Amino acid sequence: MNTAVTTKPDLARELPPDAGDIPAWLEDALSVPREEGWVQSNGCDIRYFRWGNPKNPGLLLMHGFLAHSRCFGFIAPYLAENYHVVAFDLSGMGDSGMRESYPEDVRAAEVADVARATGLFEHEKKPIVIAHSYGGHVALTAMQDQHALFGGMIICDLMVLRPERLKAYFDSEKPLRSDPSRPNRVYPDYATAKSRFVLSPPQPVNVPSLFDYMAFHSLKEVEGGWTWKFDTSVFQSDFGRQERMLRQGHIIAETPGRKAIVYGQDSLLFDDDSAAYVHECGATDVPIVGIPGARHHLMLDEPIAFVSVLRSILAQWGADES
């Protein structure tokens, strides 16, 4: 199943009424026509957005934990000038459907199912995955068995720390809620709900209107007020287990296929030392690019620089294929 409609987004619905100081480039990006629709993966409706000409090489964009594809909603239009770009909500997050559980093989299947249903595999050039944070974990899992389907992946600020630093981080940070039996709270109004929206890890952002935008699309109106879109069952995921996290650098090195890493140089989850550590783990051929002034949510801090770095990596990979 692939149901879709192509529209020019209505900015009155795209941007929350309390968003302040909206830069012109953001309005321009959000005004670019896009296709919106759903495809199915293992019986679950998966929400996606698509930009650009299907005759161009494909890009598949994947968001982080508890987030949604709109974190790329203002990035994708700038990539769509030369690429066929698809972003989707992982099941249990954003506007996608929910499952009883979210095992890694089901997550990995979503990657290929969305790419196939949206035509990304129909181009002579294999599509490239661009994945932020938890999306990078999903992408790495998918590439273990499906790397032959894709032209490579760009991992954006996936948490990678040396073992001693990782242990210290988990000892000092409050873990994300892990009780799936506790439903999401319903707040009486949007303002109250938004006041509870935080980024993980907590950080300010350089473009405040993007924080407002992400909060707005993380919430939904329900009977009695407003609540979060994500399914609490996603906390049962294996992601975040220290045993896996301790091997993250080696997993990147061992995963087949072409890879690159982009990170915020002020990130708490991947920094300059992480870059050195990944190379020490054996990923010596993986280009790693830091964006000055950006934290973990680098698309909210330095969106234009982020676009420029992605364009540069994609252009270089395209040149290598020529």
Task: Say which CATH number the domain at 248 has.
Answer: 3.40.50.1820
* CA 31, 32, 37, 40 torsion-angle sign: negative
Which residues are CB-contacts of 86 (< 8 A; sequence separation ≥ 6)?
Answer: 48, 49, 50, 58, 59, 60, 61, 114, 115, 118, 120
**Pairing mode, if any, of strands 152-156 and 84-88?**
unpaired
Locus of tokens 């957005």: 49
Q: How many domains does the chain have?
A: 1
- Whether 206 and 293 have beta carbons less than 8 Å apart is answered as yes
C-alpha torsion sign, points 169, 92, 299, 219: negative
Tell me the HSE value of 127 on the side-chain side, using a 13 A CA sphere.
31
Tell me how many degrees the CA angle 160-269-254 measures, rounded to the nearest 5: 15
pLDDT value of position 238: 62
pLDDT at 176: 62
State the pLDDT at residue 239: 59
- What whole-number distance in Å separates Cα of residue 40 and Cα of residue 38? 7
C-alpha to C-alpha distance for 68 and 204, rounded to whole angstroms: 19
Q: Which domain holds residue 159?
A: 2-321
Amino acid in the structure at residue 298:
L
Spatial distance between the Cα atoms of 186 and 183, rounded to a whole number of angstroms: 9
SS (H, E, C) 193-216: HHCCCCCCCCCCCCCHHHHHHHHH
| Residuewise pLDDT in 10s, the chain (322 residues) | 556 777 788 888 899 988 878 999 999 999 999 999 999 999 999 999 999 999 999 999 999 999 999 999 999 999 999 999 999 999 999 999 999 999 999 999 999 999 999 999 999 999 999 999 999 999 999 999 999 999 999 999 999 999 999 989 888 876 665 566 678 999 999 999 999 999 999 999 999 999 999 999 999 999 999 999 999 999 886 655 677 888 999 999 999 999 999 999 999 999 999 999 999 999 999 999 999 999 999 999 999 999 999 999 999 998 777 6
For 318, how many CA atoms within 13 A lie in the half-sphere containing its CB?
Answer: 15
Radius of gyration over every alpha carbon of the chain, rounded to an integer in angstroms: 19
CB atoms closer than 10 angstroms to residue 3: 10
Cα three-residue angle 55-157-146, rounded to 5 degrees: 50
For the chain, the 3-state helix, strand and coil shares in percent, each to the nearest 5, are 40, 20, 45
Tell the burial category of 225 from Cβ atoms under 10 Å away from its Cβ (0-12, 13-18, 19+): middle
